[in-house]
Structure 1
Amino acid sequence: MSDAPTAISFETCLDELEKIVKQLEGGDLPLEKSLELFEKGMALSDSCRKQLESAETRIEMLVRKEGKWQPEPFRPEKG
């Protein structure tokens, strides 16, 4: 896939993914266009996941525990 996302920001990637989901949910697309959008959406999803994993790793490296720098998994509070 030549237009796979490689160096776009997380926010741009997520915005494009949301647009694709809306188009697919509309259900008015020919099968071939739906498949094309699905492939692009999967690539965008993968890019977002990789960027989040990278950010999580950076956060883990920055967490300070008991006066010493120790890696700790990032666990966002669910609210």
Structure 2
Amino acid sequence: MTEKTTTLSFEDAIQKLEVIVERLEEGDVPLEEAIEIYKEGMNLSKLCQDKLKYVEEQLTEMLTEDGRTIPFAVREEE
């Protein structure tokens, strides 16, 4: 991933990914360009997956107390 790609927010990455999908679905993209667009799309997809995984880990950490996972609705306010 490029430096520019890794600094994108999740929302910006999803938006760029949607544009790439639309472009590839048009079907009139030259092969070499389609390959480059596809590569960029895969990088954006990985970026989104990594960001989601990080958030999931943060939520798990917030909901874990003494090594036990505390259901969100039951967790006491601090």
The answer, yes or no, to whether TM exceeds 0.5 is: yes
Say how many residue pairs are matched. 68
Partner amino acid for 2:20?
I
Moved over 2 A (4+): 1-4
1:1-79 correspondence runs (5 A): 2=2, 5-63=5-63, 69=65, 70-71=68-69
Partner-residue secondary structure (3-state), 1:5: helix
Q: Over alpha carbons, which structure has the higher Rg?
A: 2
> Bigger relative contact order, structure 1 or 2, given CA contacts below 8 A and separation 6+?
2
User: What TM-score does the superposition give when structure 2 sets the normalisation length?
Assistant: 0.78
User: What TM-score does the superposition give when structure 1 sets the normalisation length?
Assistant: 0.77
Distance (Å, rounded) in 1 between the aligned partners of 2:8 and 2:38:
18
Partner-residue secondary structure (3-state), 1:28: coil
Partner amino acid for 1:52?
L
Could you tell me the percent identity over the aligned residues? Answer: 35
TM-fit CA distance, 1:3:
6.8
Q: Say what the alpha-carbon RMSD is for the aligned residues.
A: 1.9
Stretches of structure 1 that go unaligned for 5 or more consecutive residues are 73-79
Stretches of structure 2 that go unaligned for 5 or more consecutive residues are 71-78
